[in-house]
Every structure is written in C-alpha cells, then in structure tokens.
Amino acid sequence: MSVHPDLPSWNDTPTRQAIIGFVHAATDEHGPAFVPPAERVAVFDNDGTLWSEKPIPVQLDFTLSRLARLAEHDPALAAREPYRAAIERDYRWLGQALVKHYHGDESDLKVLMRAVETAFKNQGVEEFAAEVSGWLRDAVHPVLKRPYLSCGYAPMTDLLRYLEAKGFTTYIASGGDRDFMRPFAERIYGVPPERVIGSALGLDFDDQAEDTRLIYKSHTEFFDDGPQKPVRIWSRTGRRPLVACGNANGDIPMLRFARTGERTGLRLLILHDDGEREFAYTAGAEDALARAQTHGWTVVSMKDDWASVYGDR
C-alpha cells in the first residue's frame, strides 16, 4: 500500500495503470490519441460509483423521513406502502423494490416513485436544497454507522481531481435526483451544481408574488437511467464523453456512448467485491459485467484496486 502522487488511494494495479495510461495518451499533444481539453468530458454515476448505495440509496433514506412525517397523522396512509416501510424503516421492502427494477419489474418502484414525487409537491427549489443540507448534517449510514457525508469513495474523489488536473471537465450523471445531489456534491466530491446531471421532477414557475419561485410538480420530468443517461449528458454538455464510469446495468448506455468509431473512451465499471470494507453484490450489474468482459471495459475491484475506500478505512 504505497502512496502515489496521482490517485493516492489506489493500489498500483493494472487498473490504476490502465487509467493513467489512457489519460497520458489523451493528453499527449504529439500522440495519435490526443483529445483537445474542451472535449475531455468525464461522466460519473453517483450511487454505487461515487458513494455507497446499500442497503438503500441515500436519497431514499432522506425521502423516507419525509414520507413518514406525511403519514404521521393519517392511519390509512400509514398502512400503505411505501409509507409503512418509511415509518418502520423497512429497508428490506425498499431494497427489493430496486432489485426488482434492475430485473425489469417496475411494480414496486412505481409505488415508491409515486409517493416520492408527491412528497415535495409545491416546495420551492431553494427550500428543498436547504432541507437536504439540514438533513445531511446529522444523517448517519444505517449499517456503516458513519455520517453519510463521509460515505464518498476516496479513490473516486482522487480520480475526479486527477482528471481535472489533466484538463478534463467532470460531471455527475446519476439516476438519482439532480436537485437532491446538488447541495452536497460540491462538499463531498468537489463537483458544483452546474455539473450535476440527474433525474428531475417537473418544475413550475410561480410568479404570483413579486419574488418569483420555482416549485416542484408532483410528476417526474425524466428518470435519468439507461438510455436517458446519454440523452441527458448531451443535453447538458453538448459533448460525447471521453471517460464514463458506472457500476450497474443502467450505466451501460452511458458507457457505450463514450465510444465512436474514431475514438474509444475509457469505460470504468466499479465492482462491489469488498464485503469487508463496504458491500459485496453484483445484483443489477450482471449485464454490465458481462459487457465489460466482451468489450474491453476496465473493471475496478474495490477489494484489489483501492488502498482505501473512505479515506480512513
């Protein structure tokens, strides 16, 4: 476990060498693989790629506290999913809803998403951001027992900084909610709000008062997963990414988009194989792992490639 000036939280494995080799080639002005700085776009999934997503995504834990509050004085609501699961903090029901979604069964996810969409109806964007920040100040990961604010992967922030130092522009491109990520993405990852791409609730412009506000509708504008990821990346950046990093089947289109005939990007897939320091699972990543094998994507083993997961363990 030696410390490297570039990517210090990484072990010196073939994976680390592949990353550095790719970046050297893309930034070598006289080499055949040179890419001008303006086109060096790197996109990163968030949940399971930049921070832990088990037993449930952090956003869901945040939303649960709100759903539980909404159902507090309404026994009929409290008996229904997902309000029941929210009140009882039943991570099992919630976790399986996501696993079913990964396998193409949307039924429970729809029940969940409908409640999630309704939970913030008519809230202003700035009030929502303040609520997220306030909740995250004290929220603790239910299994790891560490603050959520310390659940970011140190090797990934190393990678963000390394790429930025090499002239890349980094973006988060997550299935998670854009406005949920924005209040903490800069603090945890050093990525400012304008470079956070994610799912979005529809917005209404409320101009009744002299001070105008943007308020959330109770329906999703788009769910930034699967084939929507390349669409949203193009909408926001106007570029095809050169580096794409994910960990699940929903990231496959984004990783594929990082390649054209003329130019092959760096495709990184985080493998959760470290039950000791984090969680060990491949559910929801089977197709992505298979494609990594057949298409030369670089698989990152948390166990072997990372000297540290959270910086302190």
Binding interface with a copy of itself (CB under 8 A): 38, 125-126, 169, 178-179, 182, 192-194, 196, 200, 203-205, 207, 211-212, 214, 227-228, 230-231, 234-240, 253, 256-257, 259-261
Nearer to a copy of itself, 150 or 218 (CB): 218
Q: Is 132 in a helix, a strand, or coil?
A: helix
How would you classify the pairing of strands 263-264 and 196-206?
A: unpaired
Q: Is 284 in a helix, a strand, or coil?
A: coil
Nearer to a copy of itself, 108 or 179 (CB): 179
Smallest gap from residue 304 Cβ to a copy of itself (A): 30
Q: Is 174 in a helix, a strand, or coil?
A: strand
- Residue 275 tokens, joined: 């039950």
Beta strands in the chain (DSSP E): 41-44, 169-177, 196-206, 213-222, 243-246, 259-260, 263-264, 266-273, 280-281, 298-301
Smallest gap from residue 269 Cβ to a copy of itself (A): 17
Smallest gap from residue 90 Cβ to a copy of itself (A): 33
Q: How many angstroms separate the Cα of 11 from the Cα of each of 8, 166, 188, 220, 309?
A: 8, 20, 22, 41, 11
Helix then strand then coil, in percent of the chain rounded to 5, is: 45, 20, 35
State the Cα–Cα distance between residues 26 and 251, nearest whole angstrom.
Answer: 23
Smallest gap from residue 6 Cβ to a copy of itself (A): 26
Nearer to a copy of itself, 146 or 256 (CB): 256
Nearer to a copy of itself, 112 or 181 (CB): 181
Smallest gap from residue 266 Cβ to a copy of itself (A): 16
Q: Are 248 and 222 in contact (CB under 8 A)?
A: no
Smallest gap from residue 126 Cβ to a copy of itself (A): 8
Q: Give the chain's radius of gyration (CA, Å).
A: 20
State the Cα–Cα distance between residues 43 and 35, nearest whole angstrom.
Answer: 16
Nearer to a copy of itself, 48 or 230 (CB): 230
Omega of the bond prior to 14 within 30 degrees of 0, cis? no
Smallest gap from residue 44 Cβ to a copy of itself (A): 16
Nearer to a copy of itself, 146 or 236 (CB): 236
Nearer to a copy of itself, 11 or 228 (CB): 228
